[in-house]
Amino acid sequence: MIATADGKIFINPTGNPGMASGGMGDVLAGIIAALLGQGLSAEDAMKLGVYLHGYVGDRVAESKGPIGLIASDIVDGLPNALAELAVLPT
């Protein structure tokens, strides 16, 4: 779940328990910071960042298995995920 300071709640459908490992939050924070740096609003960066983080985690779990994911797996999977989702800077 994602919550904003003004009380909005969003449910993210991506991600898996294998992502509960050290460094995953740091990767998520980096993704959100990068999206903010590209000009997205805080709310949009948060929603897209959380979705993308989980999306990559799901793809990695499909290929490596659901246990033992590490933060660098997410970082390494970002380029392919961005291409799959066609998320391009404007």
Residue-wise pLDDT for 27-47, tens only, equals 999 999 999 999 999 999 999
* Cα(83)–Cα(17) distance, integer angstroms: 24
Question: Does the pLDDT at position 87 exceed 60?
Answer: no
Question: What is the per-residue burial (b if ≥16 Cβ within 10 Å, else e) of 7-31?
Answer: eeeeebeebeebbeeeebeebbebb
Query: The whole model's pTM is what?
Result: 0.90
Locate 8 and state its tokens: 């909005």
**Average pLDDT of the chain to the nearest whole number:** 93
Q: In 3-state terms, what secondary structure has residue 54?
A: helix
